[in-house]
Amino acid sequence: MLIPSFTTVILSIVVLAIVRLLVKFLIRPALLVRSFRNYKNVLLRYTPILAFLPEMEKNLNDHNDIHHSSIQRLRENPDLRFSVWMYFDKAYVFFYDPELIKEVLSKQTKMAAKDPRIFGALNSMMRNGLVYIEGEKWKTQRKLVSQVFHFDYMNLFIPTINQICEEWIKENLEKPVSNVHLHHQFKKYTSGIVWRMFFGDEGFSNKEDGDKMLHLVMKNSTEVMEACFSPYNLFIGPKFLNLGLRAADRQRLRETEFLQDFVKTKLNFYKERLEKEKASGISSGRPKNLIELLLEDSSKKQDNDEKLSDFDIMAQIFTFVLAGTDTTSNLLIMANYLLAQYPEVQDKLREEVKSFNGEITYEMLSKMEYLNAVIKETLRLYGPADGIFPRVATEDVTIGDVPIKKGFGISCGFREIHSNPKYFSNPDAFRPERWIEKQDMGVKDPFLFLPFSAGGRRCIGEQLAYIEAKIMLYHLVRKAKIEIQKPYNLRLGWGLVYESKDPMTAIYTLI
C-alpha cells in the first residue's frame, strides 16, 4: 500500500477545510434562503456572510441613505412582506409587513436575543443596561426602572427641562444672527437633561467638566459601536478586541474603565448621602434625582425581592445617558433641517406657538396640535430608531406563516414602513398636516408608525423625548427663523442611532 506524502496530506487537509467553509458559509445559507422561494411577496438575496450590511454601505456612498435600496423596493412592490439574506452560516429575515412586525415585537423577548456576534463587543455597562439586557434580568430592570421613569416624574421635571432649554437659547442665540453647530449643541441640551435627572443639581462642579464628560461618553460609545460592527469582532470575536492588541482597542478600554469609575464614584456619593439622611431621620425636603430613587427603591426590598444591584444602577445611568442624548438630539437636528427646507411649515408652526403664552405645562404642550404633528412627521421620515436591534432566534418559531429556525437573524424595517406609499401618501414629502387630517392608513394604525418601537421593549423614554423636543422647538421658532448653512448634503447612516452623518450648522436669525 502506498503511503501518501506529507505534501499530499497537507493539501488534502487544506482542500477539506476549504470545502467545509464553502458548505458552511456559502452552500448551506444559500439553501436556507432558497427554502423561502415559494412564499409570495418575498425578496431573496444571495449575498454571503454579511447579509444586508454591504448593501447599506453602498447605499450610503452612492445614494446618501443606507435604506435607499429597501425603500425603492417597497416603492416598486408595496406589498413586499420580508426579505431573506445569507448571514454567516444561517439566514437573516428582515420584515416589512406590519402584521409580521407586530408579531415579532410581541414575541421578541421570548424567542430571540440581540445578536451576540455583533453586540458581544459592548462594554459591561452597556451590555447590562436596560436597552441591551435580555431575559429575566431585563424584566426585573424594566419593572423597577419604570417605577421612577413614569409620567408623574416627567411632568414634575418639565420646569427643569424648560430652564435647561432657556439656558441653551440664551447661550446659542445671543446675536441677531447666530451660527450653531447642531450635532454638538443639541447633544449638550439633551445630555444636560439626562445628567440633571440622574444627578440633580450636583452632577458636576462646573459646566466645563460636564461638557468634557459628555464628549468622552459619546466618543467612547461611538468607538464601542464601531468595534461591534468591525471585521475583527464579526469574524474573530470580542475576545480579540479585549486583548488590547491594537492602539484603538487599548484607548477604548482605558476610556471605558475611566467612565465606569466615574459612574461608581457618583453612585457611592448618593448612596452615602441617603444612608446619612436615613440614620439622622431628617429629610432634606429636596426632590430626589433618579439615582436616589433607584437606590431608595432597592433598599426597601427584602433579600428575596426583585431589586437592582449597585452595578445594575450604574448600567442604567450609562445606558440612559447614551439613549437619552443621541436619540433626541438627532430628532431635533432633523426637525431643524426639515423646518429649514419647508419654510411654509416653519411659518405655520411659529403662528401656532406664538398663540400660546405663560408657563409651559404638559397640558399646554399637548394642545399644540401642529407642533405635535411636526415632531411626528420628523420621526416618520428620519426617526433615530430605524428598526429593532439585530436579533437571533433562540428557538424555532413561526412568525405568521414564516418559519424561523433557531440561529436565524431577525430584524424589522421601521424606516421602510414609514416610507411605504401603501401606508403614507406621498411618503417623501414632509407634510405634518397628515397627522391632523388622519387620512393616511399609517396615521390610524399604531403598528404603522413605530418611532419608539412597540411591545414589551418599547422605548421607556418616549414621553421624555417628546417633551424635550416640544419645549426646544417651542422656544426656537418663537425667537428665530431657522435656516441650514449651505452647501449641505444630507447623508443618513448608522452611528449610535440612524442619523445624519455629517456636521450640520443652523443659522438662527432673531425675529
Residues 474-490: tens digit of each pLDDT: 999 999 999 999 999 99
Dihedral sign, CA of 376, 499, 44, 401?
negative
Where does the pLDDT of residue 204 fall: very low under 50, low under 70, confident under 90, or very high at 90 and above?
A: low
What interhelical angle do 462-479 and 343-353 show, nearest 10? 100
3-state secondary structure of 307: coil
Residue 217 is predicted with a pLDDT of: 84
CB of 295 within 8 A of CB of 347? no
Q: Are 182 and 333 in contact (CB under 8 A)?
A: yes
**30 is a domain residue:** no
Evaluate the omega torsion of the peptide bond into residue 451 and state whether it is cis, within 30 degrees of 0.
no
In the three-class reduction of DSSP (H, G, I as helix; E, B as strand; rest coil), residue 445 is classed as coil
pTM beyond cutoff 0.85: yes
Looking up residue 330, the CATH number of its domain turns out to be 1.10.630.10
Give the three-state DSSP class for 480. strand
In Å, the largest CA–CA distance within the chain is 99
For residue 68, give the DSSP letter.
Answer: H
Q: Give the C-alpha separation, 207 to 180, whole Å.
A: 18
- Is residue 149 in some structural domain? yes
- Split into its structural domains, the chain has a count of 1
| pLDDT at residue 213, rounded to an integer | 79
User: In whole angstroms, what separates CA 261 from the centre of its chain?
Assistant: 25
In a domain, 88, yes or no: yes
Residue of 407, 509, 389, 506 lying closest to 457 (CA atoms): 389
Q: What is the 3-state secondary structure (H, E, C) of 158-219?
A: HHHHHHHHHHHHHHHCCCCEEEEEHHHHHHHHHHHHHHHHHHHHHCCCCHHHHHHHHHHHHH
Burial class for 439, CB neighbours closer than 10 Å (0-12, 13-18, 19+): exposed
Question: How is residue 278 written as a grid cell?
Answer: 436615613
Residue 443 lies in a domain: yes
- Overall residue count recorded for the chain in this entry: 511
* Average of per-residue pLDDT across 41-64: 96
Confidence check: pLDDT of 203 > 60: no
Does any domain span residue 9?
no
> Which residue type is seen at 465?
A
- Tell me the pLDDT tens digit for each residue of 290-341: 788 888 877 766 555 677 888 998 898 888 888 888 899 999 999 999 999 9
Q: Give pLDDT, residue 439.
A: 96
Full strand arrangement of the beta sheet holding 391-393 = 42-45, 82-87, 90-95, 409-412, 391-393, 112-114
Q: Please, are residues 92 and 408 in contact by the beta-carbon 8 Å criterion?
A: yes
Q: Which residues contact 171 (CB under 8 A, 6 or more apart)?
A: none
Answer whether residue 157 is part of any domain. Answer: yes
| Other C-beta atoms lying within 10 Å of the C-beta of residue 354 | 11
Phi, psi of 412 (to 5 degrees): -135, 145
Range of the domain at 463: 35-510
Q: 15 lies in a domain?
A: no
Residue 363 lies in a domain: yes
Query: What is the pLDDT averaged over residues 229-246?
Result: 93
- Whole-number Cα distances in Å, 410 to 114, 268, 343: 9, 40, 40
Q: Which residue has the cell 422605548?
A: 459
Q: What mean pLDDT value characterizes the chain?
A: 91
Q: Is the pLDDT of residue 185 over 70?
A: yes
pLDDT of residue 435: 98
Mean pLDDT, rounded, for 140-153: 80
What DSSP string describes 24-67? IIIIHHHHHHHTTTTSSSEEEE--TTBTTHHHHHHHHHHHSBTT
Our CA angle for 110, 224, 136, nearest 5°, is 20
